[in-house]
Amino acid sequence: MNNTTSNQNALKIYCDLFGHNYEVSKKVTSHVKEYTCKCCKKQLTTNSNGNLTELTPKYREINRLLEDFYNRRMVYLKNKTFVSQLTNC
């Protein structure tokens, strides 16, 4: 009937027994990453304490803002370096 659901349940049992098989699914900043379990697709993220926590919609939103902020800062720093290189010439 619904094979996908029963497969996921089987994988969940596997994860409960042997632990999740996380891989980095997204790099938010140099310190914050999102992880997805290869088996059951459970998602984790690094919280503000540097610990891993479940990736809830709230954390997803925080990460989105963090990523935006981080990228802007990187662009700013790159531009700053570029400008200082120009003025040094």
- Name the residue nearer to Zn ion (CB basis): 36 or 66: 36
- Name the residue nearer to Zn ion (CB basis): 39 or 66: 39
- 3-state SS of 54-79 is ECCHHHHHHHHHHHHHHHHHHHHHHH
d(C-alpha 2, C-alpha 13), whole Å = 17
The tokens for 44 are 């984790």
Q: Which residues bind Zn ion (CB under 5 A)?
A: 15, 20, 37, 39-40, 42
d(C-alpha 11, C-alpha 41), whole Å = 9
- Name the residue nearer to Zn ion (CB basis): 5 or 84: 5
Minimum Å distance from CB 17 to Zn ion? 10
Minimum Å distance from CB 70 to Zn ion? 28
Minimum Å distance from CB 5 to Zn ion? 15
